[in-house]
Amino acid sequence: MEIFFLYVLVLSLLGLVFYLIRNPQVVYKEIEISNNLSRTPEERMSKLALGKLKQKNSFMSSSEQKFFNRFKRMLMKEEIKGVYIFPEICFLALLGKTTFENKETKFAIADLRPDFAMWSEEANRIVLLIEVDGNGHSAKNDLIKEEACKMLGIELVRLTDADIKQGYEDSESFRNIYLSAKTWQKKPSKRLLLAPASA
C-alpha cells in the first residue's frame, strides 16, 4: 500500500515538473510581479548596470507627429490655454493609491501606454486619452486599453489618419478632442471689479 502511494506521489511530482517546464510563465509571472514591485533602488541599480540603454531614433510615428502638430495649431487658433498633451504616459502613472485584490490587475496594464494623454491645469489631472490608429499602429492591446480607461473613468478617443487629415473642423473624433480641450481649459481668474466712485 505504501509503495502504491509513493508511486502516485512520484507520478504527481513528475507531472507537475513536466507542466512547469512546458509552462514556465506560471512560475515566473508571480516572481516577476513581486520583483518589479518590491525591488530596492540598489537592486534596480545593479540590474541597470548589467545592460546598455539606447534612445529611440524617432519617438513618435509619422501619424502621431502629424496629430501632435495639428493639436498645437488648434490650441493656438482657438486660444485654448492650460491644456497640454503628453505622449507615451504609462497607465501605472495614472493610478491612485489603490489596493489591488489581485496583483494580476496591475500587471495587466504595467507595460501599456496610450499614445497621448491630455492634462488639464485647471483640474490638475489627466482628462482624456488619445490613441492614433494610423501608420504603425498595433491593435493587439486595444481592448485592454479601452477596459482600463473605463475602470479609470477616463474617456478614450481614437483617431485614424483620415481624422487627422480632416482636422477638428471636419472629423467627429478630432472634434471630441477639441470639445474636451475647451471644457478643461484654464478659466480666466475672477477679478474684483470696482465701481467708479460717484462725484
**CATH domain 62-184 topology:** Endonuclease; Chain A (3.40.960)
Q: How many angstroms separate the CA atoms of 171 and 160, rounded?
A: 10
Q: Are 131 and 156 in contact (CB under 8 A)?
A: yes
Beta bridge partners of 157: 130
Sequence-distant (6+) residues with CB within 8 A of 84 are 118, 119, 121
Residue-level pLDDT at 69: 95
Write b or e for each residue in 152-175: b if 16 or more Cβ atoms lie within 10 A of its Cβ, otherwise e: bebebbbbbbebbebbbeebebbb
Q: Where are the domains of the chain?
A: 2-48, 62-184
Element (H, E) at 130: strand 125-132
Q: Are 125 and 153 in contact (CB under 8 A)?
A: no
Rounded to two decimals, what is the model's pTM? 0.70
Beta bridge partners of 116: 87, 130
Q: Which residues of the chain have pLDDT under 50?
A: 20, 24-31, 33, 192-195, 199
DSSP string, 57-77: S-SS-HHHHHHHHHHHHHHHH
Q: Sign of torsion, CA 155 158 159 163?
A: negative
Residue-level pLDDT at 15: 62
Q: How many angstroms separate the CA atoms of 76 and 39, rounded?
A: 44
Residue-level pLDDT at 168: 93
CA dist 113 → 45, 94, 97, 179 (Å): 24, 10, 19, 23
Residue-level pLDDT at 107: 78
Residue-level pLDDT at 169: 93
Element (H, E) at 159: strand 155-159
| Residue corresponding to grid cell 524617432 | 58
Residue-level pLDDT at 53: 83
**How does strand 155-159 pair with strand 83-87?**
unpaired
